């Protein structure tokens, strides 16, 4: 990890009072009919020190199991092993509707959250996030739904995903409590949060940053990569090789090194790869190496 930071320490989930592990596990590819196999993945994540599990109602919509199926599968795991529920912070998201595509109206968000609770078989979602900004919904209306759900005890902390800083500010202006988190795409191949204000706003307001697609949607394997991507891979490998870790671990460590202390959401559905993600916590890189990766991603020298 960069300098003397302590990567193993839990991250505060904004000002919510909740704490989470430095790595999260995401369920956008969580599918199947075997509850035993699904339970093994969940238990592997927990045994690897991961305490934030991130799902959404839309996850599984592109599989034969359909909309809501990732939540249903996790619900079956928790029904099979209810003791697991106390071991992690449960995050889910709503607001994407197939064919619409976004709906953050007050009535819909409340209905979507209640449907998620039923699929998951739980009484409360620890972190409920608006999945995508719905520009047709007034932020006061979105806020009203979130306040109602929180007052009813159906959710605890509230976050947003894929919001611009201006959209975060507009929603926050109508909430009586601070937003706990923002979930942007952030990786050595997707560096926009460094310059579009997302990470700066998180630092300003003490919001947790949950980074989705931290490995560039698998592109860091090198398949189908362009010249810029190849330069990023070379810079990652220069750090990985002498430390005997893979470049995925370095990519995750690169994300976590930012002072906003982002939590990468690892999406692997292979137990071995979930365990390997923990190697990121023992990666060390200098500022020079960190900026070399950034420069490779930019494709042009830093000013």
Catalytic residue numbers read: 59
| Percent helix, strand and coil across the chain, each to the nearest 5 | 45, 15, 40
Joined together, the tokens standing for residue 285 give: 């890189």
Q: Please, which residues have CB within 8 angstroms of residue 14's CB and are 6 or more apart in sequence?
A: 157, 159, 178, 179, 180, 181, 206, 207, 208
Joined together, the tokens standing for residue 260 give: 């906003």
Size of the chain, expressed as the number of residues it contains: 303
On whether the CB atoms of residues 278 and 252 are closer than 8 A, the answer is no
């Amino acid at each position: 990890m960069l300098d003397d930071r302590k990567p193993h320490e839990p991250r505060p989930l904004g000002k919510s009072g909740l704490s989470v592990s430095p790595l999260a596990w995401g369920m956008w590819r969580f599918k199947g009919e075997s509850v035993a196999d699904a339970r093994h993945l969940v238990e592997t994540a927990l045994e690897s020190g991961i305490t934030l599990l991130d799902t959404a109602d839309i996850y599984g919509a592109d599989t034969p199991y359909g909309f809501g199926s990732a939540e249903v599968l996790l619900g079956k795991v928790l029904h099979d092993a209810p003791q697991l529920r106390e071991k992690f912070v449960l995050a889910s998201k709503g607001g994407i509707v197939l064919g619409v595509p976004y709906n953050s109206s007050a009535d819909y968000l409340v209905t979507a959250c209640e449907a998620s609770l039923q699929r998951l078989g739980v009484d409360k979602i620890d972190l409920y996030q608006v999945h995508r900004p719905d520009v047709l919904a007034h932020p006061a209306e979105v806020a009203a739904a979130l306040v109602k759900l929180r007052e009813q005890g159906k959710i605890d902390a509230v976050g947003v995903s894929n919001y611009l800083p201006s959209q975060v500010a507009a929603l926050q202006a109508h909430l009586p409590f601070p937003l706990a988190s923002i979930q942007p795409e952030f990786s050595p191949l997707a560096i926009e949060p460094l310059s579009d204000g997302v990470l700066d706003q998180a630092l300003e307001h003490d919001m947790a940053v949950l980074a989705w697609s931290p490995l560039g949607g698998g592109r860091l394997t090198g398949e189908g990569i362009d010249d810029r991507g190849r330069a990023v891979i070379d810079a990652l490998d220069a750090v990985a090789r002498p430390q005997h870790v893979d470049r995925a671990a370095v990519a995750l460590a690169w994300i976590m090194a930012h002072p906003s202390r982002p939590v990468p959401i690892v999406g692997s559905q292979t137990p071995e790869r979930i365990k390997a993600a923990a190697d990121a916590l023992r990666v060390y890189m200098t500022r020079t190496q960190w900026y070399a990766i950034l420069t490779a991603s930019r494709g042009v020298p830093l000013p």
